[in-house]
Structure 1
Amino acid sequence: MLQQFGFTQYESQVYQSLITEDQPLDATGIVKRSGVPRSKVYEVLHRLAEKGMIMESTVEKKRLYTALPIEATIKKLKADFETNVQQLREAQIKKTVTDDRVWTLKDNQSIQSVLQGLLQGAEQSIIISGWADDLAGYLPLLEEKYKNGHSVKIHVIGELSTEIPDVSTLIPDTQHGTLERSRILIVDEEEMLFAGMEDTAWQAIRTKSRPLVKFFAEFFYHDVALTEITRKYKDTVMKDEAVRNVLLNLRY
């Protein structure tokens, strides 16, 4: 119950045993209902009391415990979360003069959050590539940056309706069997993020390394060039079997 909020399994079990009872319990009753070992129950009760999750009372020399009411618990958890978020925002992060390390990142939600943060922090230019249904979530921010004078270049697989003029669109057909889900983002020509699928899970790298930023920028323009060639000369190149096979084996 409480593990997703940072509590231990034993803490969650003890709290649940108390919140589901309409009367206070002593340590023996908590052990029976929670499954927490007797050797651990007092330690767990102490931690929960310190965290303000339970109330204690002594009646006829017996120590009794009851859970904080559920609505009060919800309000407390929300308040704790907001406090932690604010402390995180205010945390001072030491800046290094040059950081050319390559950082790896997993989990799609984390990757999307980092990408969003990079977009928001862009001061001059944005280069971004991905699938239409993926980029659609970032479109309002991209259009806002464009309206504010940023250079915004987009390469997209699939239809994407936008007022940004510099968009290269590849409409895949049944012959594009090798196309893979990926994202490329380069901001201000100094930092990049590349994300791709591996075994059905997203993984990414992020870096300010100049050689890698330059490489992925060239990779972006390589995709744009192939898209435009395919779009303008599709009928011609697709009639040439050798050229067609080469194009269809490239990752746009």
Structure 2
Amino acid sequence: MTPVRDVLEHLQRLGMSGYEAKAYVALVAASRPINGYEVAKRSGVPRSTVYETLGKLVARGAAHERRAGPGATEYLPLPPEALIERLRREFDGSLTALEDALPALAAEPEAPPLHNLTDAEAMLARAADVIAGASRDLFLSAWPQELDRLAPRVEDAAGRGAAVSVIAFGPADLPGDVREHRHAKAVLDDLGYRLLVVVGDRREAVVGGFGGAAAWGIYTADPAVALMAAEYVRQDIALQTLADHIGPAELDRLLAADPGLRRLLRR
């Protein structure tokens, strides 16, 4: 790019139109006051618009008029150094104003959806929605009563290629990595209700409980909550896997010997 074209491009970036930039460069290059006809001839700005263009330069302070005689007007540029300093002040001022104004215009980020589920049918239906939306991975912690209702959706998710991980509080015939909890009765006695955790793609989750005729829970698309719910299921699966490898007796011995570990694993 030639130096003149480079200058024209930068002047346009700083707010001048193409014709204004050409007219200003012509005035600077002339090194003396010149009239509109000469500006048009030197710059390539059409004669039909050159006076309108010069008027805009005068209005923005980038050029000045000088009477050269009756009915004659000549133009001279604001010196380049002064123009650059003026543009710097104007743009610095605009940037300072935008630093405060633009963030104030930004909308507050929407909170991830979260709503209560107040009965068994609503909770199972929302859990089925989460399972149906899972494409990468699916984590479940559930009891046979709920797994029987959700099993077809789980099979569909596995068929789509989702990695299914289940901790089941009873026998379960499901695809994927399914581990049966060894102490289901103790968990039920401790909690007093059947806990359901369903997490799809670690981005949405249903967590709730079933006790007698009552059921309650939440649905959320908060990724932080979904991640925590997935980690809850993963911990249970890891513990059952550890018990499978070392045997229940050795696991009980470890828990008995380490009160801290026993406290962490107690529900």
TM bin (shorter chain): 0.5 to 0.7
2:218 counterpart letter in structure 1: I
After TM superposition, list the pairs within 5 Å mapping 1:47-58 onto structure 2.
Answer: none
Q: Does 1:250 align with 2:266?
A: yes
After TM superposition, list the pairs within 5 Å mapping 1:199-218 onto structure 2.
Answer: 201-218=214-231
Q: Does 1:237 align with 2:251?
A: yes
User: 1:173 and 1:116, CA in 2 relative to 1: closer, same or farther beyond 3 A?
Assistant: closer
Q: Does 1:156 align with 2:168?
A: yes
RMSD: 2.9
Contact 1:178 1:250 in 2 (8 A): no
Of structures 1 and 2, the larger Rg is shown by: 2
2:170 counterpart letter in structure 1: G
User: 1:201 and 1:243, CA in 2 relative to 1: closer, same or farther beyond 3 A?
Assistant: farther
* CA deviation profile, 1:160-203 (whole Å, cap 9, x unmatched): 123x1311221336655425411111112211110124686221
1:123 counterpart letter in structure 2: S
Deviation at 1:236, TM superposition (A): 1.3
1:246 counterpart letter in structure 2: R
* SS of the residue 2:225 aligns to: helix
Contact 1:191 1:213 in 2 (8 A): yes
Name structure 1 gaps, 5 residues minimum. 1-96
Task: Return the match for 2:137 from 125, 128, 131.
Answer: 125
Task: Calculate the TM-score normalised by the size of structure 1.
Answer: 0.52
Equivalent residue for 1:194?
207
User: 1:98 and 1:153, CA in 2 relative to 1: closer, same or farther beyond 3 A?
Assistant: farther
User: 1:172 and 1:98, CA in 2 relative to 1: closer, same or farther beyond 3 A?
Assistant: same
Contact 2:114 2:219 in 1 (8 A): yes
**Matches of 1:231 and 1:247, distance apart in 2:** 21
Equivalent residue for 1:172?
183
After TM superposition, list the pairs within 5 Å mapping 1:28-67 onto structure 2.
Answer: none
Contact 1:159 1:169 in 2 (8 A): yes
**Matches of 1:151 and 1:126, distance apart in 2:** 6
**Matches of 1:117 and 1:136, distance apart in 2:** 16
Q: Does 1:226 align with 2:242?
A: no
Identity among equivalent positions (%) equals 19
Task: Return the match for 1:144 from 138, 156, 162.
Answer: 156
1:185 counterpart letter in structure 2: V
User: 1:165 and 1:114, CA in 2 relative to 1: closer, same or farther beyond 3 A?
Assistant: closer
**Matches of 1:109 and 1:165, distance apart in 2:** 25
Contact 1:230 1:237 in 2 (8 A): yes
User: 1:248 and 1:99, CA in 2 relative to 1: closer, same or farther beyond 3 A?
Assistant: closer
**Larger helix proportion, structure 1 or 2?**
2
* SS of the residue 1:136 aligns to: helix
**Matches of 1:168 and 1:143, distance apart in 2:** 16
**Matches of 1:120 and 1:173, distance apart in 2:** 27
1:167 counterpart letter in structure 2: V
* SS of the residue 2:190 aligns to: coil
2:224 counterpart letter in structure 1: P
Deviation at 1:227, TM superposition (A): 1.9
Task: Calculate the TM-score normalised by the size of structure 2.
Answer: 0.50
